[in-house]
């Protein structure tokens, strides 16, 4: 069987399909929806109050766990609906590019930094330490900006008719938040500034841009990436490159590499794994001649 005939190279069907493999984006959407519905139907909003990020975080640092929980709670149906639509529309492309684990690390880090930015603005700018915030808006803003940087000319169709390039759509979103935050900081719209977490949106957006610019990989701190093997001393002498593998061995290696791409994204490949794919591609081209 040819390398390009394997199932890893086949185009996956778009949209939601029953029985389809669960992506990280889908998992996040389901978790948010389940928490919202459970809180709405059975807990009367108590879960939202417990999970909310309090503005007095810096004077109560032992409540730092709220930096993760607040992003999985939402105020009402419109709040969770629009956040999850944004995550669904823009998150899939980023998960395909970076892989599920790396995307999750990016998303959670964006949530934490957005929460820290909001708490800082409430404490030192608005001087309101009695407020609280919930919602995934900051993390979703990070995803949107990262997507717009990768695919600026892709079109978004309003009502399925009006085409708008992604860079313009996301740019207007960030600009609107910036203007509203500036007005709130001046006192022109202090009430609205306190109710809508513009600072969280802007911090999330900034993180998305910085993540792309500096190729941050903070998700390596997540459990499962740490290994004692990294502590072992490396050999001082350079090991000579092995001879080209036999055909059967090469196909086995390619299978494992393609599985890794499906699981973690192309960015997770090592230099040696990329060389293996290049060798397999070269041999496949020679056979077709």
pLDDT score of 82: 95
Mean of pLDDT values over 257-271: 77
- Measured CA to CA, the distance from residue 31 to residue 139 in angstroms comes to 15
For the segment 236-259, what is each residue's pLDDT rounded down to a tens digit?
544 444 555 566 677 888 888 887
Token pair, residue 259, equals 């599985």
What residues contact residue 166 under an 8 Å CB cut-off, 6+ apart? 147, 148, 151, 152, 153, 154, 155, 156
pLDDT score of 240: 45
pLDDT score of 248: 64
> Based on the domain organization, do 213 and 245 belong to the same domain?
no
Work out how many domains the chain is built from and give that number. Answer: 2
Residue finishing a domain among 187, 221, 255:
221
**Per-residue pLDDT band at 59 (split at 50, 70, 90):** very high
> Based on the domain organization, do 215 and 254 belong to the same domain?
no
Does any domain span residue 6? no
> Based on the domain organization, do 196 and 86 belong to the same domain?
yes
Does any domain span residue 100? yes
Token pair, residue 262, equals 């499906």
Please choose, from the candidates 185, 68, 89, 77, the residue with its C-alpha nearest in 3D space to the C-alpha of residue 138. 68
> Based on the domain organization, do 89 and 210 belong to the same domain?
yes
> Based on the domain organization, do 45 and 132 belong to the same domain?
yes
Does any domain span residue 231? no
Yes or no: say if 199 and 117 are a contact pair by the CB < 8 Å rule: yes
Does any domain span residue 2? no
Yes or no: say if 165 and 153 are a contact pair by the CB < 8 Å rule: yes
Range of the domain at 272: 241-288
> Based on the domain organization, do 206 and 136 belong to the same domain?
yes
Does any domain span residue 234? no
pLDDT at residue 5 tops 80: no
């Amino acid at each position: 069987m040819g390398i390009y005939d394997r199932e890893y190279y086949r185009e996956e069907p778009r949209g939601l399909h029953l029985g389809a493999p669960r992506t990280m984006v889908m998992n996040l959407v389901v978790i948010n929806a389940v928490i919202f519905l459970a809180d709405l139907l059975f807990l009367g909003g108590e879960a939202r109050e417990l999970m909310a990020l309090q503005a007095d975080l810096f004077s109560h640092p032992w409540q730092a766990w709220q930096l993760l929980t607040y992003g999985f709670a939402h105020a009402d149906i419109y709040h969770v609906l629009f956040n999850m639509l944004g995550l669904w529309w823009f998150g899939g492309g980023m998960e395909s590019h970076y892989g599920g684990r790396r995307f999750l690390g990016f998303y959670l880090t964006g949530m934490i930094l957005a929460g820290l930015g909001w708490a800082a603005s409430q404490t030192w700018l608005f001087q309101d330490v009695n407020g609280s915030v919930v919602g995934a808006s900051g993390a979703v803003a990070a995803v949107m900006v990262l997507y717009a940087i990768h695919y600026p000319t892709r079109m978004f169709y309003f009502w399925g008719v009006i085409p708008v390039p992604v860079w313009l759509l996301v740019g207007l979103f960030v600009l609107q938040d910036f203007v509203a935050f500036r007005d709130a900081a001046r006192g022109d719209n202090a009430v609205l500034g306190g109710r809508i977490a513009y600072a969280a949106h802007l911090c999330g957006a900034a993180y998305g841009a910085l993540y792309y610019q500096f190729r941050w990989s903070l998700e390596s701190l997540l459990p499962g990436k740490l290994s004692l093997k990294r502590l072992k001393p490396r050999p001082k002498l350079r090991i000579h490159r092995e001879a080209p593998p036999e055909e059967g061995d090469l196909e086995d290696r390619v299978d494992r590499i393609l599985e890794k791409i499906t699981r973690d994204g192309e960015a997770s490949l090592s230099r040696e794994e990329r060389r293996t794919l290049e060798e397999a591609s070269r041999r496949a081209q020679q056979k077709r001649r």
